[in-house]
């Protein structure tokens, strides 16, 4: 492991700044070659996770993952997006096993659980 994932992420994002589409493709190819040279190609997935986190941070975009028992209605979606203010990246996932309600994970770090599954788990823990 030559460099930490966050270091790679920052370097890649800085390299991509202000480049045209074709130049970005070049940068991406070079990045993969650098990883190969440093024998860090097997960590590509975790590095890309960090790239996403860093990019969202740089652009001040909040990431919301919503897991709900049934698909979100258009109104709910708008309500969630506007509740935070600013730019929001919304990821949705339908999981029927949550029985009812929804839960939201903010920036991969904060969980707000308003599902029936969560409430029942609290009773029967």
Partner 1 sequence: MPSVIVENLRREIEGLKSEIKAEKIGRVLEVRDGIAKISGLSEVASQEMLEVEAGGQTISGIAFNIEEDAVGAIILGDYLKIREGDIVRGTGKVLSIRVGRELIGRVVNPLGIPIDGRGPVFNSDAEGEYYPVERLAPSVIERESVNTPLHTGIKAIDSMIPIGRGQRELIIGDRQLGKTSLVVDTIINQGKDSRYKTPICIYTAIGQKESKVAQIVQKLKDSGAMEYTIVVSAPASSPASLWYLAPYSATAIGEYFMRNGEDALVIYDDLSKQAWGYRELSLLLRRPPSREAYPGDIFYLHSRLLERSAKLSKENGGGSLTALPIIETQLGDVSAYIPTNVISITDGQIYLEPELFYQGVRPAVNVGLSVSRVGSSAQTKAMKKVAGRLRLELAQFRELASFAQFASDLDESTKKRITRGRVLSEILKQPELAPVPFENQVISIYAGTNGYFDQVAPEEVSLKMSALLGYVEKLYDEAILKKIRETGELEEEVENSLKKALEEFKNL
Interaction site with partner 1 (CB under 8 A): 4-6, 46, 49-50, 105-106, 108-114, 119, 121-123, 125
Q: Which residues pair with 58 in a beta bridge?
A: none
CB of 20 to partner 1, least distance (A): 32
CB of 111 to partner 1, least distance (A): 4
CB nearer to partner 1: give 27 or 48.
48
CB nearer to partner 1: give 26 or 49.
49
d(CA 29, CA 18): 17
Reduced to 3 states (helix: H, G, I; strand: E, B; else coil), residue 86 is coil
Report how far apart, in Å, the C-alpha atoms of 119 and of each of 17, 95, 116, 124 are.
45, 16, 5, 9
CB of 82 to partner 1, least distance (A): 18
């Amino acid at each position: 492991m030559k460099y930490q994932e966050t270091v790679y992420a920052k370097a890649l994002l800085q390299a991509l700044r202000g480049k045209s589409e074709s130049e970005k493709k070049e940068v991406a190819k070079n990045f993969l070659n650098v990883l190969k040279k440093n024998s860090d190609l097997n960590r590509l997935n975790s590095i890309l996770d960090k790239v996403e986190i860093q990019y969202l941070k740089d652009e001040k975009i909040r990431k919301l993952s919503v897991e709900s028992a049934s698909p979100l209605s258009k109104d709910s979606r708008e309500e969630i997006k506007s509740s935070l203010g600013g730019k929001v990246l919304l990821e949705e996932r339908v999981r029927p096993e949550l029985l009812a309600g929804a839960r939201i994970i903010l920036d991969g770090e904060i969980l707000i659980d308003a599902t029936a599954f969560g409430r029942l788990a609290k009773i029967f823990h």
